[in-house]
Structure 1
Amino acid sequence: MSEMQDYQSSLTDTASRKFETFSYLPAMDSDQIRKQIEFIVSKGWNPSIEHTEPQNATGSYWYMWKLPMFGETDVDAILAECEACHKAHPNNHVRLLGLDNYAQCAGASMVIYRGKPA
């Protein structure tokens, strides 16, 4: 068994905070984000985009970027909305969710753009 790594993080150091599983990996490039969107669409989940300031990211409230994209299956359209949110809020974290109507929960949730710590 390999040794477990302790990720040092603290509330006072916003750059050290981790969010969801993918935040322990290197930042996703545009192709990897596209693959996550394709996965969300393949599951029939509804994409949704949220954003928040890095110092507020540990809270449960994130700002919605428009409404969830109910029924949207065009990966390019979803990716364009993700990029538009990031462009409009370059200092904020941007999170992509896949909302599962059947289970009534988020089937996927990942920070796809990290903002600059305050």
Structure 2
Amino acid sequence: MSEVMDYKSRLSDPASRKFETFSYLPAMSDEDIKKQVEYLISKGWNPAIEHIEPQYLMDSYWYMWKLPMFGETDANVVIAEALACHKANPDNHVRLIGYNNFNQSQGASMVIYRGKTV
């Protein structure tokens, strides 16, 4: 049996905090982000962008960047909005969400830009 690795994610150490499965992986490149956006669109999910200050990461409320992009089918438009959010809030974490109309839930949610840790 392989050994399970302990990730030292602690509230007392902001730099170690993990937000979701993808945060245990290296930061996504622009191409990786584009692939995720294309996947959301291919599923028919509505993309949305949210952001939050790193010190409030554990709160359940994130700020919405504009409205969800209902019916958007161009990945470049979604990426441009994500970049605009990141540039307007450079110290914040920015996440991409895919809203699933059929299940009325989030089909996907991932941090695509990490803010500065406190």
Q: TM-score, normalised by structure 1?
A: 0.97
Q: Where does 1:39-118 land on structure 2 (aligned, <5 Å)? A: 39-118=39-118
- CA RMSD of superposed structures (Å): 0.7
C-alpha offsets along residues 60-99 of structure 1, whole Å, 9 cap, x if unaligned?
A: 1000000000000100000000100000000000000000
In structure 2, runs of 5+ residues without a counterpart are none
C-alpha offsets along residues 3-52 of structure 1, whole Å, 9 cap, x if unaligned?
A: 11111111122111101110000000000000000000000000000000
Aligned mates of 2:52, 2:12 — CA distance in 1: 17
2:12 alignment partner in structure 1 = 12
In structure 1, runs of 5+ residues without a counterpart are none
SS in 1 for 2:84: helix
2:29 alignment partner in structure 1 = 29
Aligned mates of 2:75, 2:61 — CA distance in 1: 26
Structure 1 segments of 4+ aligned residues over 4 angstroms from their partners: none
SS in 1 for 2:34: helix
Equivalenced residues, count: 118
Q: TM-score, normalised by structure 2?
A: 0.97
